[in-house]
Amino acid sequence: MKQSKIFFLLFFLFIIQGTVIPLISLFHAWDNVQWVPEFVFVAILMIAFFGSLSWGMRYALVFGFMTDIVYSSVLGVYAFSLTLTVYLISMISRWVNLNLVMTLLLVAVGVVVMEFQVYVIYLMIGLTDQNLSVFFQARVPATLALNALFTLLIYYPFRRDLVKMSDWIKK
């Protein structure tokens, strides 16, 4: 039952980040800025931090494939990038005290790493021709700001609920 609640929350975030967020007029105010909501990724990182790494990686794989199917023309890019980044950032999180500041910093590093992985893969297979400098000037700062704000909004309630479920979720 608890896993289904987490899945439906992640699915709700998946729908929100792909449909509602692009419609907000703030995101159309600057033409050259690329706002990329990665709310599902942020929530999956928190599941890996405060719940279970294995469940975090499972959700990363499932929602990565869902992102590939719905938003991408190449199957596996987001599934690979999400799963690898969740694993790497979760391994780093074991060395630090996961307070709000460290969680925010790790999420920021995770978002940059994941976005860069997708960018490099798309660049290698010819799906993007965006300059690296444009990527780091137009996409990364706005994406970091949006996802950091989302992390601040969900940190305390999500952490509280995941810590309560952590004994059950690790099974």
Q: Residue 169 has what pLDDT?
A: 52
Q: Residue 163 has what pLDDT?
A: 79
Number of domains in the chain: 1
- Look at residue 56 and tell me if it is in a domain: yes
Rg (alpha carbons) of the chain, rounded to whole number: 16
Q: Residue 3 has what pLDDT?
A: 78
- Look at residue 23 and tell me if it is in a domain: no
- Look at residue 87 and tell me if it is in a domain: yes
Q: Count the neighbouring beta carbons within 10 Å of the beta carbon of residue 139.
A: 20
Q: Residue 162 has what pLDDT?
A: 83
Q: Residue 65 has what pLDDT?
A: 96
Backbone dihedral region for residue 35 (phi beyond 0: left; psi -120 to 50: alpha; all else: beta): beta
pLDDT along the chain (171 residues), means of 10: 83 90 64 85 95 92 96 92 97 93 96 96 92 91 93 92 69 50
- Look at residue 22 and tell me if it is in a domain: no
- Look at residue 26 and tell me if it is in a domain: no
Q: Residue 26 has what pLDDT?
A: 62
Q: Residue 1 has what pLDDT?
A: 45
- Look at residue 24 and tell me if it is in a domain: no
Q: Residue 108 has what pLDDT?
A: 97
DSSP per position, 34-58: -----HHHHHHHHHHHHT-HHHHHH
- Look at residue 171 and tell me if it is in a domain: no
- Look at residue 150 and tell me if it is in a domain: yes
Distance CA 2, CA 162 (A): 10
H helices, E strands: number in the chain:
7, 0
Range of the domain at 146: 2-17+34-166
